[in-house]
Structure 1
């Protein structure tokens, strides 16, 4: 049966279909990571012209109670607050703005908190505020108006951090990630892990702003009852191209990829220094994560690594990083995700990369080959000076395995050494299973090692790395001599004693 195809769908009118209030639940379930959500709020501060941003964790003794993001930007009036708290609220974004969709504040905040309060003041208006409480939002989009007295009091609280005669405070309550019970040092451990990771994330994605003299981000922790400040430090820029010496003296080079729908796109191609241990190189993730394209939009990093279907990542390209400033009007060639944590590229960009050249006619494909050669040559030089060992296996974090195999030559055709937790006699911290090529750790001491954190296949990376370094030689011999057996017993005794001290809290009593 054949019919004439209609290239446009005919309509017979329209109907207004407002979103159901449950849309707020969907908005809060977009998979925002904690670091990504905070970065989204800082983007708003930058758009408001802020020079100083404070990320403030508030605690009441051992219990974390709230998180605030405070800035000294131009602030918002009552009308501006309504727009900011409206899902998809219409506002005019300047060409250089970091905001795009009008959902970041709401979706980022409600992904991690049961309530988000927005309080602001300008040069000409008094302090005012709005609050989304999740249970009221899903019951009918009811947004609370904050009492003016409280709004002014909160602004006054930050009058000297640094100058709050205008600016904005975003307050999160009921933060889902906060430890439910703060005893046993859980809160301190959570803050240490979270703040370190957050500082690296902000330092990386906002490094071009942090490199300026007139912009600062501070992360602080304060006890709301005593006023004690436990932590107060500035976030440092983490430039993913901040190597001390290029891995290849002919780089960086600029290649031009002609993308038909947007025109010429400049590719700043870099080759990192081999075997680098500085944070600018190592803190971005595994060797698979850190290579590839680094896309920037208005000086804000929106993707750190990845080849965007141009090619598969591989260890030999771990030194290759290419900076790309997205064109102002990207069309369908470059589509930024709502969370500003990745870029989707069209096939025309991939095709353009295959033809991209620099001013001397060198191709982008040759650049990848040069990065590959640089990596292989460096590995050959280091591996000739070190004795080959049995490779690491399951139970050891992939990033650690990657570092070990990168730094030390591996004995080919040997079973890798796995590490797992298992119930053992409590007089033993570990056992060696030669037949299974496995280091077995005593399950009884696992909670002490993890400090209350949830365990997994690749948990306790520091301990497992040390155990591998300490014991890999045992698996390279058919049997242990008397001296080696004595060493194994010595290590066993010391580790059991240390684990018991950790369980009993002895380590924290002095």
Structure 2
């Protein structure tokens, strides 16, 4: 068999490598994974409009020797099928490099271990020029002006990752990029920030000197959050823990908290599964094609915890941003979906049924005809009947046309949209104050209102539980 060596065109390969599809905050999270694997307790990130260095990340992990750093800078360091420690958040040995290359052309890593400082650099322009993967060992003294350098020098151990030549955004974009970064890290690493990961102290992450507070998307501490029974699914020799939550109805939250837990995607797009691998959030807001996104289920969020040896069963990609479970696992997840969504829709269906409450005479009623439903004005309402009794036939016909028009052109789409997007801002009910109610009652009594009519009024939405106003009104 004849063979020959065919080297890739490195400059073209680099362009493909840079175009994997990372966004800034996802790339940073991938780099930060290495710090967690290195047992860091504190991570400092600098992202400022500096002419030399836009981004730097410093951790206080175990650090790397020169040989370990060379290996860490090697592409595809790990065998994805090899057994890893339970706390290892990597898989392919590509995260540090591909995430960094997606944002910049100059990746430099400084690391300290056993009192020795090691430094290595990938310069993509230099590699393209030489058409070879030549790893540079620069002079440490050339990096004294980069952010977090002196903090690194004062640590016993740790690693400093530096991105220079960022070309994915401009300086004017940095405030927005930093805000997205803070939100993303607060969500993705909230288990580590909360200190709930077994055997680990609470992780501290600082972005431009500001400590990040964890964002738990399940709002588990709120009294109205429903934490349903968890379930363990056995798959091969692994265990999958599924924990469903139903978030509080908007009526139980302040506007601030409602907006906070909606996330930037909104409640409807944030429903579904939240996949965690080794306590790190990978994918969220998806049903993986097993259930249709539904406004009635927008409060349902189901947490899935897997270990880091289950990647093949979930099809996790290099960026840790896409996944899809195998069919055997989907069978159990479909069953859980059916159970949870029934309960998850109750905060909405339960409130909707109140329109059929027989103890209250309402202005609107729900009617069913030919298996279709529509909202109609209650023509038996005592106020409407009282008005009709005072009208002649022509006036009564005009009133009927007005009521039919209101029913027919009820802006349902706009109502649903506002209730989904701004439920706490929707305030349709007009409140009558005590003086207004008393004035109305007094006027009716002067007109010789019957006690039967009064009893009927006390059942209506306007006057229910306001009996005292009728009793105190002057006769």
The TM-score, its normalising length taken from structure 2, stands at: 0.67
Partner of 1:132: 122
Judge conservation of contact 2:56–2:148 (CA < 8 Å) in 1: no
Judge conservation of contact 2:22–2:99 (CA < 8 Å) in 1: yes
Q: 371, 375, 380: which one pairs with 2:348? A: 375
Judge conservation of contact 1:269–1:323 (CA < 8 Å) in 2: yes
Aligned counterparts of 2:42 and 2:191: Cα–Cα separation in 1: 15
Shift of 1:344: 1.8
Q: 156, 164, 182: which one pairs with 1:165? A: 156
Cα RMSD between the aligned structures? 3.5
Structure 1's 400 and 30: CA in aligned 2 closer, same or farther, altered over 3 A?
farther
Judge conservation of contact 1:64–1:178 (CA < 8 Å) in 2: no
Aligned counterparts of 2:164 and 2:212: Cα–Cα separation in 1: 24
Q: 141, 166, 176: which one pairs with 1:149? A: 141
Shift of 1:177: 3.4
Matched, 1:70 2:58: yes
Aligned counterparts of 1:290 and 1:385: Cα–Cα separation in 2: 35
Shift of 1:41: 0.9
Shift of 1:292: 0.9
Shift of 1:112: 0.9
Q: 16, 19, 24: which one pairs with 1:34? A: 24
Partner of 2:421: 403
Judge conservation of contact 1:336–1:342 (CA < 8 Å) in 2: yes
Aligned counterparts of 1:336 and 1:19: Cα–Cα separation in 2: 27
Deviation readout 1:143-187 (Å, 9 max, x if unpaired): 221114335x469954447952321111111212342xx6xxxx3
Partner of 1:80: 68
Partner of 2:213: 236
Partner of 1:439: none
Deviation readout 1:209-230 (Å, 9 max, x if unpaired): 111254211111xxxxxxxxxx
Residue range with higher mean Cα deviation, 196-205 or 131-140: 131-140
Gaps of 5+ in 2: 196-200, 356-361, 365-405, 429-475
Judge conservation of contact 1:318–1:375 (CA < 8 Å) in 2: no
Q: 71, 85, 105: which one pairs with 2:96? A: 105
State the SS of the aligned residue for 1:82: helix
Judge conservation of contact 2:152–2:158 (CA < 8 Å) in 1: no
Residue range with higher mean Cα deviation, 30-39 or 365-374: 365-374
Q: 54, 59, 63: which one pairs with 2:49? A: 59
Structure 1's 94 and 154: CA in aligned 2 closer, same or farther, altered over 3 A?
farther
Partner of 2:187: 204
Judge conservation of contact 2:46–2:148 (CA < 8 Å) in 1: no
Matched, 1:255 2:231: yes
Aligned counterparts of 1:65 and 1:131: Cα–Cα separation in 2: 14
Gaps of 5+ in 1: 1-11, 221-231, 357-363, 411-510
State the SS of the aligned residue for 1:269: strand
State the SS of the aligned residue for 2:230: strand
Aligned counterparts of 2:333 and 2:363: Cα–Cα separation in 1: 38
Matched, 1:269 2:244: yes
Structure 1's 135 and 255: CA in aligned 2 closer, same or farther, altered over 3 A?
same
State the SS of the aligned residue for 2:345: helix
Aligned counterparts of 1:52 and 1:378: Cα–Cα separation in 2: 46
Structure 1's 280 and 405: CA in aligned 2 closer, same or farther, altered over 3 A?
closer
Residue range with higher mean Cα deviation, 87-96 or 70-79: 87-96
Structure 1's 147 and 331: CA in aligned 2 closer, same or farther, altered over 3 A?
closer
Aligned counterparts of 2:353 and 2:151: Cα–Cα separation in 1: 56
RCO higher in 1 or 2 (8 Å CA, sep ≥ 6)? 2
Shift of 1:355: 4.3
Shift of 1:197: 1.3
Structure 1's 161 and 130: CA in aligned 2 closer, same or farther, altered over 3 A?
closer
Shift of 1:103: 0.8
- 1:407-426 to 2 correspondences below 5 Å: 408=426
Judge conservation of contact 1:76–1:121 (CA < 8 Å) in 2: yes
Aligned counterparts of 2:111 and 2:225: Cα–Cα separation in 1: 50
State the SS of the aligned residue for 1:344: coil
State the SS of the aligned residue for 2:216: coil
The TM-score, its normalising length taken from structure 1, stands at: 0.63
Structure (1 or 2) with the greater helix fraction: 2
Judge conservation of contact 2:152–2:160 (CA < 8 Å) in 1: no
Judge conservation of contact 2:56–2:147 (CA < 8 Å) in 1: no
Aligned counterparts of 1:296 and 1:399: Cα–Cα separation in 2: 31
Aligned counterparts of 2:341 and 2:276: Cα–Cα separation in 1: 21
